[in-house]
Amino acid sequence: MSTPFKIGLLALSSALLLTACGEPEDTRPGQPVKHRQQAFKEIIKSFEPMGVMLRKGTFDAERFDKLSAELIAKREGPWSYFGVDTNYPPTKATGEVWKQPEAFEKEKQAFIAATDKLQEAVKGRDKAMVEKAYDAVHDSCKSCHKQFKEH
């Protein structure tokens, strides 16, 4: 074997090994963990650009309104995928989701209410109110993650 071939083979083997060490795949019927993770990622795709606008001082009320509407449309996405038998890898949820369903539901409802208030604030076009409402949504996420998501 030539040296370049050996190097190529070694590189390919290394890449395959690294891929194999990744997160486990959700192979259960319906892939509920995968679907809820994807749903949370979709929420972030609407929520994070709002935060960037606020942090960079580039608040655009029209764009913010559009992103807020997207967030509202996506906010119900993950919840139905937290079924009874969905606490398995690759989940990032802690067992507390299933041990404390009332507390988990309370966190979900706080998130829904915070997103409603964000949308109301956006309609008013007052940047200070929008920032306050955005922070409340962010705090709602952090509160739920603190108790119900692995860190």
70: in domain: yes
* CATH number of the domain to which 35 belongs: 1.20.120.10
pTM of the model: 0.83
13: in domain: no
53: in domain: yes
pLDDT per residue rounded down to tens, the chain (151 residues): 555 444 444 444 444 444 455 779 999 999 999 999 999 999 999 999 999 999 999 999 999 999 999 999 999 999 999 999 999 999 999 999 999 999 999 999 999 999 999 999 999 999 999 999 999 999 999 999 999 999 8
**What are the DSSP calls for 76-135, one per residue?**
TTTGGG--TT--STT--B-THHHH-HHHHHHHHHHHHHHHHHHHHHHHHT-HHHHHHHHH
Neighbours of 27 (CB within 10 A): 10
